[in-house]
Homo-oligomer: A and B are copies of this chain.
Amino acid sequence: MSNDRGYYGEFGGAFIPEILVATFDELIRQFRKVKDDPSFWQTYSDLMSNYSCRPTPLTFAENLTRHFGGAKIYIKREDLNHTGAHKANNVMGQGLLVQRMGKTRVIAETGAGQHGVATATMAAKFGFECTIYMGEVDVKRQRPNVFWMEQMGATVIPVTDGTRILKDAINEAFRDWVTNMDNTHYVLGTACGPHPFPEMVSFFQSIIGKEARQQILELEGKLPTRVFACVGGGSNAMGLFSGFPDNSVECVGVEAAGYGLHTGQHASRLCSPDATVGVAQGYKTYFLQNDDGQMKETHSIAAGLDYIGVSPILSRMHQKGEARFESATDKEVIDAVKLTMKKEGIIPALESAHAFAGAFREAAELSSDDIIIINQSGRGDKDIFTIADAFGDPKWREFIKEKALDYK
């Protein structure tokens, strides 16, 4: 898939400080070993089925299907993973690698907090020390996740530099890593960063697509017409898309349009003209940057999509037309959450809801012979503070105010 230095066409690579070269060499070596060892996949998928609940279901969304009157809609239920998102797949896989490498400490960046919770969880289970870097802005919007990370024994460090979101947390994690790589592995949370991360994270996440493909063939005896995933760094999208390399299946990635593509306040790298190719955080891809190469502020209601870069593998797919990229605004996303809750009793994470919003836009135009699969990368419980605010729930506000009074 990638060449030796992890290039996908012109994208990817490993733009790493010299101090990390040996660490990456060792990581690549170990990763190659496990990737080529079929018994490793067995170990990995056993772990995922014993500790998380894989295979996750592929739920037929009967009511949504009826509502749109077009394609049959299926939902891949990554929300049912332990810790509530697809992030668990990647993290547990890397945990096994860390064990093999004999390291005793893990660090990670986190945006939505899901990857942080997943990493803290993995660390507790494997007995690793754990430090999580999280932009200060995200610490605020995802406080419940911070609480759980800390309770699981992790140290959460709010990053107060830069734009104080996901990208800044990644920088901080690298700064930790270049100091502590002897005993520390950096559990990158998405299919970005220097080689071998895009390939490695996609490898672990491919469990999503493998399962989904088998499930839809069992249920329907044919492949879907389109598959939808939200795109932050791109790991859940890669996970799903990798199961459907067929020409007949259209892969659609949905990015965050924030307040709207025209406002500049968004996080769309592939479907907006605002991003250009660059090199940062160790890899080459489309970045939201200015003409000097300085990264821009991004915005999304979903902390996990609020990121400047995107998987080099997706950039390549975009370039080759192997996947289509769309976007959904904060508002469309909230509407999609509401509709999905009311119709199916399912609460997508705000990140995942981008995929729902994208799919909803297209479902009606397809026929009942068509099938679409939406990747529900996570559950929305974690977003209660954001969702309650977005919905403007007065009872929630009252509740919080009363709670605050108790704390006086």
Contacts and interface: CB of A to CB of B under 8 A. Distances in A.
Interface of A: 49-53, 56-60, 63, 77, 80, 82-84, 120-125, 127, 140, 143-144, 146-148, 150-153, 338, 341-347, 381-382, 384-385, 387-388, 391, 393, 395-397, 399-405, 407
Contacts of A387: 151
A132 to B, nearest CB: 13
Contacts of A84: 381
Contact of A344 (B124, B347, B393, B401): B124
Given A152-B342, A381-B148, A400 B404 contact: yes
Contacts of A83: 345
B53 A49 contact: no
Contacts of A148: 341, 347, 381, 384
Nearest to A119: B345
Nearest to A393: B147
Given A50-B57, A120-B345, A345-B123, A147 B396 contact: yes
12 contacts: A53-B56, A80-B82, A120-B345, A121-B345, A124-B341, A124-B344, A143-B399, A144-B381, A147-B395, A148-B384, A153-B342, A381-B382
A56 B147 CA distance: 26
A63 B84 CA distance: 22
Q: SS class of chain A's interface: helix, strand, loop or mixed?
A: helix
A341 B400 contact: no
Contacts of A405: 404
Contacts of A122: 345
A148 B407 CA distance: 24
A354 to B, nearest CB: 18
A57 B53 contact: yes
A345 B396 contact: no
A140 B401 CA distance: 12
Contacts of A395: 143, 146-147, 150
A92 B381 CA distance: 20
A403 to B, nearest CB: 5
Contact of A384 (B60, B127, B144, B401): B144
Nearest to A381: B381
A80 B57 contact: no
Nearest to A58: B50
A83 to B, nearest CB: 8
Given A345-B122, A396-B147, A80 B58 contact: no
A124 B84 CA distance: 21
In the A-B complex, the 9 residue pairs with the smallest Cβ-Cβ separation, listed nearest first, are A404-B404, A121-B345, A124-B345, A53-B53, A53-B80, A125-B345, A397-B407, A143-B399, A401-B404
